[in-house]
Amino acid sequence: MAYEVHIDVFDGPFDLLLRLIAAQQVDVYEVRLADIVDAFLTEMRRLGTLDLELATQFLLVAATLVELKCRRLLPGSGEVDLDDDLALFEARDYLLARLVECKTFSAAASVLALLERSAQRSLARRAGPDERFDRCAPDLLAGVTPEQLAAVAERAFAARPLEPSYVPYPSGEDVSVHATIEELVSSLPGRGRVSFRVLTAGAASPAHVVACFLALLELYKQSLVDLEQSETFGELTVVWSARGPVEPADVVSDAYDAAELEAASAGMAGRRVVPRAGSGRATPVGATVPQRTPGPTDAGGAR
Amino acid sequence: MNSLSPDLRGDAAAIEAVLIVATEPVATSLLAELLEVSGERVEHVCASLSASYEEEERGFELARVAGGYRFQSHPAYRGHVERFVVDDAPQRLSPAALETLAIVAYKQPISRAQVAAIRGVNADGVIRVLQSRGYVEPVGRDGGPGQAVLFGTTQLFLERLGIDSTGDLPPLGQFVPDVSTVEALEHVLRTGPVPTADAEE
Amino acid sequence: MNSLSPDLRGDAAAIEAVLIVATEPVATSLLAELLEVSGERVEHVCASLSASYEEEERGFELARVAGGYRFQSHPAYRGHVERFVVDDAPQRLSPAALETLAIVAYKQPISRAQVAAIRGVNADGVIRVLQSRGYVEPVGRDGGPGQAVLFGTTQLFLERLGIDSTGDLPPLGQFVPDVSTVEALEHVLRTGPVPTADAEE
């Protein structure tokens, strides 16, 4: 069952519209996405129930249209060409793999739910030893004074420190540029020439590669490394070029908030990209600012 | 249930199920209510069950204590249980347990949810440990819709700490927000700022 | 212990005594140490004991959970137990939480980013919830540049699901959609909706 759209430039199945646009038979420029979405929502409301299959298909096609339209609207991007078309198909293969994985785990989740439900039909015994054994149980409060208890209570009741504001990468992974800089500062010297590919060979996710790249740019800016690249998209070579020993803290405090660095090196705020408050540093394209707690670091930060 | 007469088996099994999950002796009247039988019937079934465990040389027994019934280990296996209690018991309270105990001591009566709101993490497991150690106990129920169990500290807690009453605990030096303030704060932390007159400025 | 063979009775009773005072599953190795017998012996006795309770239609059962043994109420008496225990039921997990839990359970150790890659959405919030409920915990760090925290499931997770180890979960392969489903998905992605059988004819 396909969802049909009725707009000025096209009348028919929604996914056909996508294919016509890809084949350049309809100009995506002429397609008003807002109208399509409005019409779809109206239709959904009319039906009263959510057809998940239909909604998912709609989302997929609509998202692809948004992407195509963005490319068309952004200055410098040319016509939708064959490469983009291929990329679209690659994206779909990726999407397929993801869908299969998703289906697999949602089926597994339903089995966990079944196990949980059946386990809940029984309740475990939690009574513990009765009073006859009180004297064998060691006195767990031995050595604890009322004053210590009061101190613990004060700590517990004290306002919890607010989370530092942060901007996660779109991948959802929080990756610390600080930590990466620190790591590079300690590992690069004496290593000679090393390619970016080698540096990021063990990266857990694309976000880690990006963090490594940002860290290198920071080091480059401070003339601590030289970067060489003989051709566009060619191998990027990194050489440590600093004279004399360098402390990680010296490097990082220039670009990032020193307090955050301390927190990060103490392992508390690890793996986060923390733009220095008030630096006016632009957030990465596509990054979203999550709902977060108001804090002092917000004063001049993200807007 | 071989050694029990057939007409008792169904009720006996239901009593076993309830007593196995109970953490305190269960009153005859409550068992009667749960099983929808008379108190005499409960006493009769429990007496038979208790005798059958004895006869079958079980490691546990059904004991009548404080007006109710409970499962407990058989005195014959006291050595094993003692070794288990000594070996298995953690030797000190964990920091989480100590923090929870401090919260209960100063804020009693307090529900699990309120403790969790102050600590920022679920406190059920820790409260269970403290309860099994006899440092905290249920002291009542909240009047609200969920009728949450409220906890307070025990006589044992006072004894171990060497004080006569919770009034002897040192006063906290700073302003301590009450539970509802902490919950409101928690809510704000999770969901973003609540617009107030102050915030508008 | 009528339905148990005489050579098992002594050890069985000692195990009963220990388990009746335990607040969490007792590991086979600890029971073996307490009884001064082998682990195999403990497993053999427990299996026989468990079977005898079932046969005797007891209200409790001896369950093997999270690498140990525990007493729990028999599912048949769930109604009685639920009426008795009012507030102890832990909250149900949301579908998102269950799916994330499934991913962690099958793919552990796994980082937040890897979970997010599978789920297609940020998983930080859900993982935090699972962590605060005690179902997942950090188990190590990734070797890569970012040193991502890796998560695994906990003992409590096993207890909650009533299973002995994650090895008891059904193999993941059995949840992979079958070929025709995959083909249908692929077809939808490439060309739009699948023509139904009726439409073909």
Give B132-164 pLDDT, tens digit per residue: 788 999 998 887 777 888 999 998 888 888 888
Per-residue pLDDT at A248 exceeds 80: no
Of C89, C91, C46, nearest in space to C71 by CA: C46
For A27, the token pair is 């100009």
Q: How far apart are CA A28 and CA C189, in angstroms?
A: 20
Of B23, B43, B34, nearest in space to C82 by CA: B34
Range with the lowest mean pLDDT among A288-292, B177-181, C145-149?
A288-292
Report residue B48's pLDDT band, with 50, 70 and 90 as the boundaries. Answer: very high
Q: Which residue has the higher pLDDT, C78 or B200?
A: C78
CB pairs under 8 A between A and B: 123
Distance from the B169 Cα atom to the nearest Cα atom in chain C, whole angstroms: 30
Q: What is the pLDDT of residue A275?
A: 38
Q: How far apart are CA A132 and CA B63, in angstroms?
A: 13
Which of A120, A130, A135, A141 has the highest number of chain B CBs within 10 A, making it the mutation to test binding with B? A141
Q: Which residue has the higher pLDDT, A274 or A243?
A: A243
Instruction: Tell me which chain A residues have a C-beta less than 8 angstroms from the C-beta of B81.
Output: 129, 133
Distance from the B85 Cα atom to the nearest Cα atom in chain A, whole angstroms: 6
Which of B16, B18, B21 has the highest number of chain A CBs within 10 A, making it the mutation to test binding with A? B21
Mean pLDDT across C41-56: 94
Distance from the A226 Cα atom to the nearest Cα atom in chain B, whole angstroms: 44
Chain B, nearest residue to A141 by Cα: B160
Mean pLDDT across C13-30: 92
Q: How far apart are CA A81 and CA A94, in angstroms?
A: 20
What ipTM score was computed for the predicted complex, to two decimals? 0.66
Q: Which residue has the higher pLDDT, A268 or A68?
A: A68
Mean pLDDT across A243-260: 57
Q: Highest mean pLDDT range out of A87-91, A164-168, A175-179, C43-47?
A: C43-47
Per-residue pLDDT at A280 exceeds 60: no
Range with the lowest mean pLDDT among A255-259, C39-43, C99-103?
A255-259
Distance from the A10 Cα atom to the nearest Cα atom in chain C, whole angstroms: 17
Q: In sequence order, which ranges of chain C are alpha helices (DSSP H)?
A: 6-21, 28-35, 39-55, 78-84, 95-107, 112-119, 124-132, 155-161, 179-191, 197-200
Q: Which helix (H) or strand (E) holds C110?
A: strand C110-111
Q: What is the pLDDT of residue A85?
A: 58
Are residues C117 and A205, on separate chains, in Cβ contact within 8 Å?
yes
Tell me, yes or no, if B92 comes closer than 8 A to chain A by beta carbon.
yes
What totals of helices (H) and strands (E) does chain B contain, helices first?
10, 6
Distance from the A222 Cα atom to the nearest Cα atom in chain C, whole angstroms: 21
Nearest to C57 among B9, B35, B129 (CB): B9
Instruction: Tell me which chain C residues have a C-beta less than 8 angstroms from the C-beta of B17.
Output: 59-60, 73-74, 76-77, 80-81
Instruction: Tell me which chain C residues have a C-beta less than 8 angstroms from the C-beta of A207.
Output: 113, 146
Q: Which residue has the higher pLDDT, C49 or A210?
A: C49
Report residue A22's pLDDT band, with 50, 70 and 90 as the boundaries. Answer: low
Q: Which residue has the higher pLDDT, A61 or C71?
A: C71
Encoded amino acid at B16, one letter = E
Interface of A with C in 16-35 (CB under 8 A): 16, 19
Are residues C148 and A126, on separate chains, in Cβ contact within 8 Å?
no
Q: How far apart are CA A290 and CA C105, in angstroms?
A: 27
| Whole-number CA gyration radius for chain B | 22
Chain C, nearest residue to B126 by Cα: C134
Q: How far apart are CA A286 and CA A169, in angstroms?
A: 8
Chain C, nearest residue to B119 by Cα: C132
Dihedral sign, CA of A167, B182, C137, A151?
positive
Are residues C147 and A270, on separate chains, in Cβ contact within 8 Å?
yes
Are residues A96 and C189, on separate chains, in Cβ contact within 8 Å?
yes
Q: Which residues, including other chains, have CB under 8 Å from residue A263's CB and lie 6 or more apart?
A: A164, A269
Percent of chain A with pLDDT over 90: 0
| Average pLDDT score, chain B | 81
Q: What is the pLDDT of residue B36?
A: 93
Distance from the C36 Cα atom to the nearest Cα atom in chain B, whole angstroms: 10
Of B64, B75, B52, nearest in space to B26 by CA: B64
Q: What is the pLDDT of residue C39?
A: 94
Q: What is the pLDDT of residue C142?
A: 85
Q: What is the pLDDT of residue A203?
A: 72
Distance from the B62 Cα atom to the nearest Cα atom in chain A, whole angstroms: 13
Distance from first CA to last CA of chain A, Å, rounded? 43
Of A57, A265, A80, nearest in space to A177 by CA: A265
Q: What is the pLDDT of residue B193?
A: 44
Over residues C100-123, the pLDDT tens digits come to: 999 999 999 999 988 988 887 788
Over residues A203-231, the pLDDT tens digits come to: 767 777 888 888 888 888 888 888 887 77
Are residues A172 and C145, on separate chains, in Cβ contact within 8 Å?
no
Which of C24, C28, C48, C56 has the highest number of chain B CBs within 10 A, making it the mutation to test binding with B? C56
Q: How far apart are CA B122 and CA B120, in angstroms?
A: 7
Distance from the B181 Cα atom to the nearest Cα atom in chain C, whole angstroms: 22
CB pairs under 8 A between A and C: 199
Q: Which residue has the higher pLDDT, A2 or B103?
A: B103
Are residues B56 and C156, on separate chains, in Cβ contact within 8 Å?
no
Distances (CA, A) of A52 to A1, C93, C185, C188: 12, 22, 14, 14
Interface of A with B in 139-158 (CB under 8 A): 139-142, 144-147, 149-150, 152-158
Q: How far apart are CA A217 and CA A177, in angstroms?
A: 11
Tell me, yes or no, if B6 comes closer than 8 A to chain A by beta carbon.
no
Interface of C with A in 41-80 (CB under 8 A): 60-61, 63, 65, 70-75, 78
Chain B, nearest residue to A131 by Cα: B134
Over residues A115-173, the pLDDT tens digits come to: 888 888 888 888 777 777 766 766 777 778 888 888 888 877 775 544 333 333 343 44
User: What are the residues facing B111 on neighbouring strands?
Assistant: B150
Are residues A149 and B82, on separate chains, in Cβ contact within 8 Å?
no
Of C133, C95, C146, nearest in space to A173 by CA: C146
Report residue A23's pLDDT band, with 50, 70 and 90 as the boundaries. Answer: low
Report residue B43's pLDDT band, with 50, 70 and 90 as the boundaries. Answer: very high
CB pairs under 8 A between B and C: 129
Q: Highest mean pLDDT range out of B112-121, C8-17, C125-134, C135-144?
A: C8-17
Over residues B175-193, the pLDDT tens digits come to: 455 555 555 555 555 554 4
Of B13, B70, A124, nearest in space to C56 by CA: B13
Nearest to B17 among C17, C81, C156 (CB): C81
Q: Which residue has the higher pLDDT, A263 or C136?
A: C136
Are residues B161 and A141, on separate chains, in Cβ contact within 8 Å?
yes
| Average pLDDT score, chain C | 85
Q: What is the pLDDT of residue A89?
A: 60
Nearest to A109 among C102, C121, C145 (CB): C102
Q: Which residue has the higher pLDDT, A263 or B152?
A: B152
Q: How far apart are CA A204 and CA C148, in angstroms?
A: 8
Are residues C18 and B77, on separate chains, in Cβ contact within 8 Å?
yes
Chain B, nearest residue to A152 by Cα: B99
Per-residue pLDDT at C31 exceeds 70: yes
Percent of chain B with pLDDT over 90: 38
Q: Which residue has the higher pLDDT, B86 or A85?
A: B86
Tell me, yes or no, if A203 comes closer than 8 A to chain C by beta carbon.
yes
Per-residue pLDDT at A29 exceeds 70: yes
